[in-house]
Structure 1
Amino acid sequence: MYDVCIIGAGVVGANIARELSRYQLNICVLDREDDVSCGCSKANSGIVHGGYSDKPGTLKAELCVKGNRMYAQLDEELHFGYREIGSYVLSFDQESLATLRRLFEQGQQNGVGGLELIDGEEMRRREPHVSAEVTGALYCAQAGVTSPYEFVIALMENAVANGVELKLRHEVRQLEKRSDHFLITTTQGTLSSRYVINAAGAHSDNIAAMAGLTDYQITPRRGQYLLLSKAQNYLANSVIFQVPTALGKGILVTPTYHGNLMLGPNAEEIDDKNDVSTDEETLRFIAQTARLSVPGFDMRQALTSFAGNRPVSNQKDWVIDASRLPDLINLIGIDSPGLTSSPAIALKVVTLLQDSGLHLEANPNFQAQRAPIIRPKSEDFQGTTTHSDPALHLICRCENVTEAEILDCFRRGLPVLSVDAVKRRTRAGMGLCQGTFCGPRVRALLAQELQMKEEDIPQRGHSSTLAERARKTQLKKL
């Protein structure tokens, strides 16, 4: 019997798990995927928003501002990567200037610090590569960038080190309320828990419906992105937004935490929650729209594209509620700024659990610190692709990832079951060659670690092995 079962190992579930690991509780986290952070948590902008975009008095506004201020301390403890680089919202005409003034006033109501309205000339002085058409901007000093999947990995590693059980490939099929506990049926069996936290992201409405709460509805809103090489990162020092629309914060241009340049996302409501495909027409639209802000980027430097689905609900605000069914906390429609707000959401959930009767006693063995996997290399680093020392043996030349870093990521308490899982932890495969050189070397190390054949090692998930892809290719030829 668990005290708390968290459904969903994204950024919200991972923050809750880590926060609850401060207490003497029996906790498990369930996720249907092969790794943590496989939903929207890995496929988003990685922006830590300031908090001026959301309507005052909403949960979004309250928790975004609180969560933003928690990132620096979390990064000191968990070393996932965070930089406060500031953000700008650009205007191009008188109507959008009025929108900037409204956002400025809204941010002040929400308690956002470091807000400033500037004219176009000052904007170009600060960011020399923005468009000559810019007439003004709203600056927010407290915005930043992070590596979202590394954040989730760090949170969950620390939670597991502090006693939380992580159960991957456990898709929830049934949730039944008994007198003093829930019976949770998954694809791997059945377990019991006194409290359940529904942090299932795009599938949170499905989990709620299993418990009889059928009035929640999630509509996936897909956002596609373009990632450019580090050679383009001189074009933006801060996050550069356009004036937001009814569908979201619009097309942005931003440096990533690791120094690439990223464009996107668009916003399109789709039917399939699992559809994270990209298409050439949309990517062309993203590039054209991004040029309105920063015209000078070179699309020949594009490395890859990706997409993520934001869980937009039919409710006016986020739902973080424990009142409708005793001992079940539903988190419904946690879309943007969910990444930013997630640490504060976790604190709110802990309070709701206490109010529901869960006794919290401090865990005397709680350890807040988690060592980084990625180690910065000094200028005199002597790594080679043939070195016998794992600390100097380069597996990924583009990102300077060593064998020692990859072996380290295997020994962190979380299952590492695919080539992409290694990529998310170490950046092996994220450089200019996109894994052409290091992919086979990572696969060989994984095969040795998992005692499997190399052709059976998945690229992404358990259905993406070389053998499975070869089989599908053969079937298409029949």
Structure 2
Amino acid sequence: MYDITIIGAGISGCSLAYELSKYDLKVCVVEAENDVAVKTTKANSAILHAGYDPKPGSLNARLNVEGSHLAKEICRKLDIPRKQLGSLVVAFSEEDIKTVEELYDRGVKNNVPDIQIISKEEVLEMEPHLNQEIYGALYAPSAAVVNPWEYAIAMAEVAIQNGVTFYFNQTVEGITKKGDDFEVKTNLETINTKYVINAAGVHADSIHEMVAEPTFKMKPCRGEYYLLDLEETDTVHHIVFQCPTKVGKGILVAPTTHGNIIVGPNATNISEDIVNTGQDTANTTLGLNDVAEGARKSVPTINLANSIRNFSGIRANTDREDFIIEEVIPNFYDVAGIKSPGLTAAPANSLYLIELMKEKGLVLNEKEDYIDKRRRIHFNQASIEEKQQLIQENPDYGRIICRCENITEADIRESLHQTLPAQSVDGVKRRTIAGMGRCQGGFCGPRVVEIIADELNISPLEVDLDRLNSHILVSQSKEVL
């Protein structure tokens, strides 16, 4: 019997697991995929928003600003890449200036620190490659970028260190109320639990409807992106937004924690019928053209020919404007509609829900031996002396496998045995960034497959690209011949 079962291991589920692991509770997380953060969390803009955009008084507003503050400390403690770059919302007309003024007023009401409206000259001094016809901008120095999947992995690993169990490749097929408790039936087993937290992202409505009548409807929305080569690092040095519209925050141009430039997203509503079919995250010519046009409005000289990858992600939008964090029936809670600024707000969302559960009777006793730290070896960031020492201790550090990012054989092998080990080539990529450089795994990919097969003592034919059974290789060439 578990005290709490969390459904979904995106940023919301991982953050909840992390916060709940601080207490004497038996907690598990049920995830349909073979890893954490493989849906919306891995494919977004990676922004920790300052908090001037949400409507004052909303949960979005309160939890955005609080989450941004909490993220800074969590990233420091758990060794998660984060860069506080500051953001600019650029105005291209007098009408946009009015929007900037409205955002400034919202930011003040939402307690966003140090925001200010700056002149055209000040903006262009900060970002000389921006459109020279701009009128000014809102500057929010507290905005940051984070590695989103590393953020989720780190919190999940700390949760595991403190006793939380993760069940992967398990799809929830039904939830039955049994007295005061629940039976959560998956494709593999039945889990008995006192509380259920629905953090299932785009599937949150389906999970909700297993126990209650509908109170919201999912309206999934696809956003498409360009990721540019490191040659474009100097394009911008801040997170550059356009004025927001009803469908989103507009096309952004921003640095990532790794130094690349990310461009996007657009916003295209999609049918729930195509979610998880492969079509949901497909890139389209029309969508990428929209992104390119929007990016050139902000940065006319941006070189999209230096794109090393296009990708898209799904926003878990609903027909309700605000976050949905509430009790549905006794001891069953929704954490749904966690669209932007969901990545930013995740830790604050978790604390908000835990406090709500406490008010409803959840007993919370803090652990005395809680482990709240995580450290990783970053060979590619080490000094010459540190690298020599690592190679002396483990010669595998002396073999560079991913030349684009300077990732070693030791990095890859260790990712297969860390607290939350990689299960696939993309799982290795999310933990080590092997394959994220200019060649996108063109050179190192085959070698990574070999290392995974060797380290796990399996056939190369069994190595997955990402999801379970997404085998890269289908047979040996000699067999085909």
Count of aligned positions: 469
Aligned to 2:35: 35
C-alpha distance in structure 2 between counterparts of 1:407 and 1:362, whole Å: 35
For residue 315 of structure 2, what is the amino acid of its counterpart? R
Distance in 1 between the 2:213 and 2:416 partners? 39
> What CA deviation, in whole Å up to 9, does each residue of 1:329-382 have, x standing for no partner?
101211000000001011012112212212111112211100125444346387
Please point out which of 353, 356, 359 is paired with 2:360: 356
Match of 2:187? 187
Deviation at 1:315? 1.6
Letter of the 2:399 counterpart: H
**Contact 2:6–2:13 (CA<8 Å) still a contact in 1?**
yes
- Measured after TM superposition, the shift of residue 466 of structure 1 is 2.4
Which of the numbers 312, 318, 331 marks the counterpart of 1:327? 331
Q: Which TM-score applies when normalising by structure 1?
A: 0.95
Distance of aligned partners of 1:394 and 1:467 in 2 relative to their CA distance in 1, 3 Å threshold: closer
Task: Pick the aligned partner of 2:464 from 449, 452, 458.
Answer: 458
Match of 1:446 among 449, 452, 468: 452
What are the Cα deviations for residues 420-455 of structure 1, in whole angstroms up to 9, with x where unaligned? 000011000001111011111111121123221112
* Alignment RMSD (CA, Å): 1.8
Secondary structure of the residue aligned to 2:149 is helix
| Aligned pairs (5 A) from 1:194-213 | 194-213=194-213
Matched residues, percent identical?
38
Instruction: Name the SS of the counterpart of 2:209 in structure 1.
Output: helix
SS at match of 2:202: helix
SS at match of 1:390: helix
1:406 alignment partner AA: I
The answer on whether the counterparts of 1:158 and 1:369 sit within 8 Å (CA) in structure 2 is yes
Greater displacement, 21-30 / 358-367: 358-367
2:319 alignment partner in structure 1: 314
SS of residue paired to 2:219: strand
- Give the aligned partner of residue 440 of structure 2: 434
Q: Find the aligned partners of 2:199 and 2:475 in 1 and give their Cα distance.
A: 32
Unaligned runs of 5+ in 1: none
Task: Quote the offset at 1:461 in angstroms.
Answer: 1.2
What runs of 5+ residues in structure 2 fail to find an aligned partner? none
Query: Residue 49 of structure 2 corresponds to which residue in structure 1?
Result: 49
- In the alignment, what sits opposite 2:285? 280
Take 1:316 and 1:244, find their aligned partners in 2: how far apart are those partners?
A: 15
Work out whether 1:298 is the aligned partner of 2:303.
yes
Change beyond 3 A, Cα 1:13–1:235: same
Q: Measured at CA, do residues 417 and 209 of structure 1 come closer, stay the same or move farther in structure 2, by a change above 3 Å?
A: same
1:114-263 equivalences under 5 Å are 114-263=114-263
User: How many Å apart are 1:456 and its aligned residue?
Assistant: 1.6
1:100 paired residue number: 100
Instruction: Determine the C-alpha separation between the residues in 1 that align with 2:474 and 2:95.
Output: 54
Offset, 1:212? 2.1
- In 2, the alpha carbon distance for the partners of 1:155 and 1:50 equals 21
> Is this contact kept in 2: 1:373–1:426, CA < 8 A?
no
Q: 1:298-324 CA deviation, whole Å, 9 max, x = no partner?
A: 2221000111110111123111001x3
Task: Tell me if structure 2 keeps the 8 A contact 1:373–1:425.
Answer: no
Q: Could you tell me which residue of structure 1 aligns to residue 351 of structure 2? A: 347
Which residue identity does 2:275 align to in structure 1? K
The separation in 2 between residues aligned to 1:295 and 1:378, in whole angstroms, is 37
Q: Secondary structure at the match of 2:351?
A: helix
